[in-house]
Amino acid sequence: MIQHIHPVWQALLAGLFTWGVTALGAALVFIPHPKAHAKKILDTSLGFAAGVMSAASFWSLLAPAIDIAERSVGQWATLTIAAGFTLGAGFVFAADRLIPTSLLFPATTPRSSASTSVAPTTTVDVVENPIGLPVSKLEEGKNHSACENVSNHSPADDVATSWRRIFLLVVAITAHNIPEGLAVGIGFGSIGRSETATFQTALNLAIGIGLQNFPEGLAVSMPLSGFGCSKLRAFMYGQMSGLVEPFFAVIGAAVVILVEPILPYGLSFAAGAMMFVVVDDIIPEAHRNGNGKLVSFGAMVGFVVMMSLEVGLG
């Protein structure tokens, strides 16, 4: 049924699907899990996401882009694809520069005695929560977080800081979901423009991005839960990070339909954006906790799963 409706509607439905999988990943926060295994679960999931995105970047985006470019610009195809790929990577690089990681979780340091009401016997140290992100800890053993008040701040300051940190975390993940939404839309908008740009290819791309969105939802909800947020609030912020995908999927499909000559650039742009996210964000983040072998295993499984979808169903 979906195969016979307008590509923009196909892109919207696919974007809703990828958002739904993000929400499903975020919902894992409701399932009790041993804190000792939280890092391994998250890192393996991120490795899986990296493998899926790497395979999808070639089979679902670059391969159709190369095919279309060779037919439209001939010997200049390589330059066209390289330009689009570089622009896509540059787009995500610019987004990362606008939202530096250091702003997400600034270190908590004790204030001077002149500006704090903390008793002299109480000190504040920075420790790591179950998945490796910094939270403050009082010597008495009470954990404080971005979702709770810290005793050496006024309540108003704590509320503002908490919301700022949560907002920046969600924005960082959301910014990474924009090129993925565009990729889904461009995939459906390009159907029929080349032999490799088929409905099945676009559908496989949406499935692949949905699969890699699963750990992204978890990557938001689990840290927030570890920081002290309620599980419901952590879930809500986790699923919100994927809400941009349906909107940008529609935009991507509409643009390539209205301006067909930019299609090779659009496909390669999406591929470049996705690959930059993989090598600059997902892989380094997955290796932060020393689970490199699990990350590599997850990446290989993810790549094989996406490759099988493309080769077997494409």
Does residue 57 contact residue 274 with C-beta atoms inside 8 Å? yes
- What pTM, to 2 d.p., does this model score? 0.62
Residue 275 C-alpha from the chain's centroid? 12
pLDDT tens column, 215-249: 778 767 876 776 677 888 888 888 887 888 999 99
What distance in Å separates the CA atoms of residue 288 and residue 37, rounded to the nearest whole number?
A: 15
Cα 233 from chain centroid (whole Å):
19
pLDDT score for 13: 93
Instruction: Give the model confidence (pLDDT) of 119-136 as tens digits.
Output: 444 444 443 443 344 333
